[in-house]
Amino acid sequence: NAGVTQTPKFRVLKTGQSMTLLCAQDMNHEYMYWYRQDPGMGLRLIHYSVGEGTTAKGEVPDGYNVSRLKKQNFLLGLESAAPSQTSVYFCASSYSSTTYEQYFGPGTRLTVT
């Protein structure tokens, strides 16, 4: 049982490049989330999904897109990376909407130059 995994762990992009971050969970959770964390800040919600085929915007969705084609996977895409998107990205999942217990992945450190 790996829990929540994220790929890749590190990535450096040039401004304007695109990339996709992959999140996978093996706990059969319905809900999945993408957050970003900047130095000295708490986590901010980018997008989330309440089930396969659904997505919704969080607090800071601009510049990102997501897809949830399979229940266990949640993809975060950057179509045209900007230096402001340099951050650590965390994926999380939860089994229910009646709890705030979310399970987080190890994070992806992204640098945009």
Partner 1 sequence: LAKTTQPISMDSYEGQEVNITCSHNNIATNDYITWYQQFPSQGPRFIIQGYKTKVTNEVASLFIPADRKSSTLSLPRVSLSDTAVYYCLVGETGYSTLTFGKGTMLLVSP
Q: Which residues bind partner 1 (CB under 8 A)?
A: 4, 31, 33, 35, 40-45, 48, 50, 56, 58-59, 90, 92, 94, 97-107
How many whole angstroms separate alpha carbon 62 and alpha carbon 64?
6
Instruction: Name which of 18 and 96 has its Cβ closer to partner 1.
Output: 96
Could you tell me how far CA 111 lies from the centroid of its own chain? Answer: 15
Instruction: Name which of 14 and 101 has its Cβ closer to partner 1.
Output: 101
Ramachandran region, residue 27 (left: φ > 0; alpha: ψ -120 to 50; beta: rest): alpha
Instruction: Name which of 14 and 40 has its Cβ closer to partner 1.
Output: 40
